Amino acid sequence: MVLETPGPAEAHPLVRREDVPAQPGPGEVRLRVEACGVCRTDLHVVEGDLPPQANAIVPGHEIVGRVEACGDGAAGLMGKRVGVAWLHRSCGDCRFCRAFRENLCLTPVFTGWHVPGGYAETCTAPSEFVYPLPEDVPARELAPLLCAGIIGYRAVRRTEVQSGQRLGLYGFGGSAHIAIQVARHFGCEVYVFTRGRKHRELAEALGAVFVGDATERPPRPLDAAVLFAPAGELVPVALENLDRGGVLAIAGIHLSPVPVLDYARHLFQERSLRSVTANTRSDGRALLALAREIPIRTRTQLYPLADANRALVDLKQGRVDGAAVLEAPRYESVSSVKQAALNRGEA
């Protein structure tokens, strides 16, 4: 499903195209895609909020698949189940990469924005940037972890919230419904601000101690908060609800304009405002380990790959309960006999 010209999701800008699968280059692998999550960042790419980085692009960066072809140097992954996330690769040499801050790389490449992503039956990725995934969890449950989960985890960590403290979540979609599970595992009280009835019900089911509209004041000041909704007008609202020394982290890659802030009301008493930019591979590994330990349960709404446009519209209009996931057509790319041999290292 290819984006040739950005436009409103309601106009169904993705078009179906039949292409020959790309051959993986040195150090790359090609995946037979099982499932791909539908992230709000995909919506920003499709609608042009994020300027196009290619003439035509396949969106999608929450990819679960199995390696079916390997370039030179990547043969050890043949037949393995892996995940591909937003950070396709970093340069590895700039001052940020050398400081283990590859999310701030000066020349990053992002999946589904710069290079083709997972709204397809196959995709390629650098072997050093894929994540090993368990075999015993359905692909639809794993897919949201690869961006919604990773970014939600990083956003929570950016707030520096501690066990026993109060954390607010503004917006309750694919990322927040994972972040609440992480925060509760860390021992936090979670306060959720969202409009949708289904979102409120899910927040309550996942253990929120307070659920209300973004305009409502929490019963007690918050020690920290994460803004998941791409709504700049909520920045002063969230800051005003913070206790002294509180931190607000903005989790999205795109945000509508932020109103003028009043220093005394919104920032004084050492309240802080922080952004979240992409992720590091260590974030991904940490989140996936936590997902196993907690364990994290993702709520998903499944769509066939050919219905990617409909999934984006549902996401935009708040009709997705949890996270939307595209399911690729199911067929075997290698025989079961050959697959077994590959897993044993005999082929």
> Among residues 222, 257, 275, which one ends one of the domains?
275
* Helix, strand, coil percentages in the chain from 3-state DSSP, rounded to 5: 30, 25, 45
Across-strand partners of 66?
32, 81
The CA–CA distances, whole Å, from 41 to 56, 120, 216, 253 equal: 17, 17, 27, 7
Within this chain, do residues 32 and 74 fall inside the same structural domain, yes or no? yes
> Among residues 275, 290, 317, which one ends one of the domains?
275
DSSP string, 261-288: PPIIIIITTT-EEEE--S--HHHHHHHH
Taking a C-beta distance cutoff of 8 angstroms, is the pair 151, 215 a contact? no
Q: Is 55 helix (H, G, I), strand (E, B) or coil?
A: coil
CB atoms within 10 A of CB 7: 14
State the pLDDT at residue 139. Answer: 98
CA 330, CA 346: separation in Å to the nearest integer?
A: 25
- Helices marked H in the chain: 40-47, 95-98, 139-142, 148-158, 176-185, 197-205, 234-240, 281-293, 308-316, 336-343
CATH of the domain at 63: 3.90.180.10
State the pLDDT at residue 340. Answer: 46
Phi and psi at 182, nearest 5°, equal -65, -45
Phi and psi at 241, nearest 5°, equal -90, 0
Within this chain, do residues 179 and 260 fall inside the same structural domain, yes or no? yes
Number of domains in the chain: 2
Within this chain, do residues 87 and 114 fall inside the same structural domain, yes or no? yes
Taking a C-beta distance cutoff of 8 angstroms, is the pair 14, 310 a contact? no
Within this chain, do residues 138 and 198 fall inside the same structural domain, yes or no? no
> Among residues 275, 302, 332, which one ends one of the domains?
275
State the pLDDT at residue 144. Answer: 98
Instruction: Give the structural domain span for 250.
Output: 149-275
State the pLDDT at residue 336. Answer: 42
Residues of the chain where predicted confidence (pLDDT) is lower than 50: 332-344, 346-347
